């Protein structure tokens, strides 16, 4: 059974989904471009361009995947506890790996295997980042919605 808090999260507008994904990607671009340039020895511009391309793919995937995840929650009635969050983050990252490994291999001039290994390293960062970001976003959103409801009720 879904709680009122979780049911409310199922009614995010396209604009809100875009904002959620954009904030996620902006933070990720800054972290990944700098880390990639430093750790891999590519220029910040080269890594920044790759990171923006990957970010664009990831943002579109984020919006589509989270809409599908919301529908799955509505259909199956599960709560968004720790297990659901781990499954959400894991499935998201698997889809992203399939989409970006060929791009990274081409852009960096490395083999698909090397790009896959690199992406696994990135995914190991993004698994906890995705988990934490979505949990914090949903928690803050629920608080904001509760405040708005209380203000409307008081008016």
Asked if residue 1 belongs to a domain, the reply is: no
The total domain count for the chain is 1
Please give the Cα distance from 90 to 94 (Å, whole number). Answer: 6
Asked if residue 61 belongs to a domain, the reply is: yes
Asked if residue 4 belongs to a domain, the reply is: no
Asked if residue 3 belongs to a domain, the reply is: no
Whether pLDDT at 144 is above 50:
yes
Asked if residue 91 belongs to a domain, the reply is: yes
Asked if residue 134 belongs to a domain, the reply is: yes
Asked if residue 2 belongs to a domain, the reply is: no
Return the closest-CA partner of residue 130 out of 140, 122, 119, 141.
122
Whether pLDDT at 34 is above 80:
yes
Print the domain residue range for 91. Answer: 9-150
Please give the Cα distance from 4 to 13 (Å, whole number). Answer: 17
Phi, psi of 13 (to 5 degrees): -75, 165
Q: What is the pTM of this model?
A: 0.63
What is the structure's pLDDT at 8? Answer: 57
Please give the Cα distance from 79 to 83 (Å, whole number). Answer: 9
Average pLDDT over residues 23-47: 90
What is the structure's pLDDT at 1? Answer: 45
Asked if residue 56 belongs to a domain, the reply is: yes
What is the structure's pLDDT at 5? Answer: 52
Average pLDDT, the chain: 87
Share of the chain above pLDDT 90, in %: 48
Return the closest-CA partner of residue 21 out of 57, 51, 73, 68.
57
Return the closest-CA partner of residue 99 out of 119, 121, 126.
119
* pLDDT tens string 65-124: 999 999 999 999 999 899 999 999 889 888 988 999 999 999 999 999 999 998 888 878
């Amino acid at each position: 059974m879904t709680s009122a808090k979780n049911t409310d999260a199922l009614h995010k507008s396209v604009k809100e989904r875009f904002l959620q994904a954009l904030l996620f990607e902006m933070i990720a671009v800054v972290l990944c471009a700098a880390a990639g340039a430093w750790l891999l020895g590519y220029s910040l511009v080269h890594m920044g361009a790759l990171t923006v391309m990957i970010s664009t793919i990831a943002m579109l995937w984020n919006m589509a995947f989270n809409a599908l995840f919301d529908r799955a929650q509505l259909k199956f009635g599960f709560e968004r506890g720790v297990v659901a969050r781990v499954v959400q983050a894991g499935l998201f990252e698997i889809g992203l790996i399939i989409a970006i490994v060929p791009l990274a291999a081409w852009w960096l001039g490395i083999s698909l295997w090397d790009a896959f290994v690199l992406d696994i390293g990135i995914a190991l960062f993004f698994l906890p980042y995705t988990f934490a970001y979505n949990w914090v976003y949903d928690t803050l959103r629920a608080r904001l919605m509760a405040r708005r409801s209380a203000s409307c009720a008081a008016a």
